[in-house]
A = this chain, B = another copy of it.
Amino acid sequence: MALVVMKFGGSSVADATKIKLVASRVIEKKKAGNKVVVVVSAPGDTTDDLLSMAENITSNPPERELDMLLATGEMISISLLAMAINSMGQKAISLTGPQAGIVAGTNYTRARVKKVNPNKIKSMLAKDNIVIVAGFQALNAKGDITTLGRGGSDLTAVVLAAGLQADFCEIYSDVEGVFTTDPRLVTDARKIEYISYDEMLELAGSGAQVLQSRSIEVAKKFGVQIYAKSTFSQNQGTIITSEENIRRRKMEALLVSGIAFDKNQVKFTIIDLPDIPGVAAKVFSKLAKVGVNVDMIIQSAAVNKKNDISFTVSKQEMKKTQIELDKLAQELNASEVVCDEHVAKVSVVGIGMKSHAGVAGKMFEVLHKKGINIEMISTSEIKISCIVDERDLRTAVDELHKGFGLSRKNRSLYEKI
């Protein structure tokens, strides 16, 4: 008898009809001979509705109280889902995050899970219950309800799967799995059958939001196998697992798994910074202090004891960054701060490139052939990212997707490079 954790997102429990559909999915899984733990998010727009209730009271609510408010959303879905399953003749019981033994640190609104006490869930499973747990929420040491931040229900599912040593963690949503690139942009984007945690992390970090990054990290750490698939179809989804598992199954890793992109980027350049030790540190520690998250960074070679530093931030942080940089530029005697908000990031991701040279060269060649200018480059072991003009993004993604043979059903990329 296997133990399976199933997680359903908010759009899967948005109304009574959908909740009943989820109930039947869960019952199928149970009847197939599994012990089943279900994690659900708040129904549909509930979280946004609750946030706007809070905004009508004050623009700056205490985070503890915000968590108390937001936790109600998931309590609504777990109780309704438990009712639906019971009405279909199976035993089901709902548990809040605190009741389920999910213990978090002291932060509110984006608490980190510290541990899981799975005893209550285990005893409920032993009594033949389907156990339904509220995602996104936890208990802190003060006895307060806290929440785990955006996408926190994924994290709940993964930590429960780890704590219960589940055989599988299934993440259901309204998309069918992980694709080689965004199917809304590239029509022949292909669903990926297997992908490694690291590739998935790079894809998520580059804007492919199938799964919350933190849950992938935790899944990797505890070796939780994730199966991402659609609530609304019976099609195969994507398995997210370790590199070793993938290599074992597929004999050889694919060179490139997918093309990710991110339009939410702004490029800043500080021109003519004095080339003395500690200047870069000063810039970035100052930005960190005001809460700006810097993504890519490039520093040019020094000329005349001056150099330029370029970096990207998200569009939301543009204003804050501009204000700080204007102060810093004066302080550090730089000549100018240039901001370009018409940029985008395109990334090629794949564990195969660890052991195969030539991916970067291929990427630059594809972009060059289409006359696309590369403004910045950054690389990791399994990812190469380029900043390009946002008007070139669509072409870039399309050409890279084709160039790395991702569109075709049967890929054999080794001959191609």
CB distance from A348 to the nearest CB of B (A): 45
Nearest chain B residue, comparing its CB with the CB of A75: B72
Tell me, in angstroms, the Cα distance from A79 to B144 when the chains sit together: 12
Tell me, in angstroms, the Cα distance from A86 to B61 when the chains sit together: 8
State whether the Cβ of A50 lies closer than 8 Å to any Cβ in chain B. yes
- Cβ B93 vs Cβ A64 within 8 A: yes
**Chain B residues with CB under 8 A of A68:** 75, 78-79, 82, 94, 96
- Cβ B83 vs Cβ A58 within 8 A: yes
Tell me, in angstroms, the Cα distance from A172 to B27 when the chains sit together: 46
**Chain B residues with CB under 8 A of A309:** none
**Chain B residues with CB under 8 A of A65:** 79-80, 82-83, 86, 93-94
Nearest chain B residue, comparing its CB with the CB of A17: B56
**Chain B residues with CB under 8 A of A69:** 75-76, 79-80, 83
Nearest chain B residue, comparing its CB with the CB of A59: B87
Tell me, in angstroms, the Cα distance from A71 to B84 when the chains sit together: 18
State whether the Cβ of A57 lies closer than 8 Å to any Cβ in chain B. yes
**Chain B residues with CB under 8 A of A56:** 15-16
**Chain B residues with CB under 8 A of A93:** 64-65
Interface residues of A in 52-68 (CB under 8 A from B): 53-54, 56-58, 60-62, 64-66, 68
A residues in contact (CB < 8 Å) with B: 15-16, 19-20, 50, 53-54, 56-58, 60-62, 64-66, 68-69, 71-72, 75-76, 78-80, 82-84, 86-87, 93-94, 96, 99, 120, 143-145
If A57-B83, A72-B72 are given as contacts, then 16 extra A-B residue pairs at C-beta distance below 8 Å, sorted by A number, are: A16-B53, A54-B80, A58-B86, A60-B87, A61-B83, A62-B83, A62-B86, A64-B93, A65-B79, A65-B82, A65-B86, A66-B79, A66-B83, A68-B75, A68-B96, A72-B76
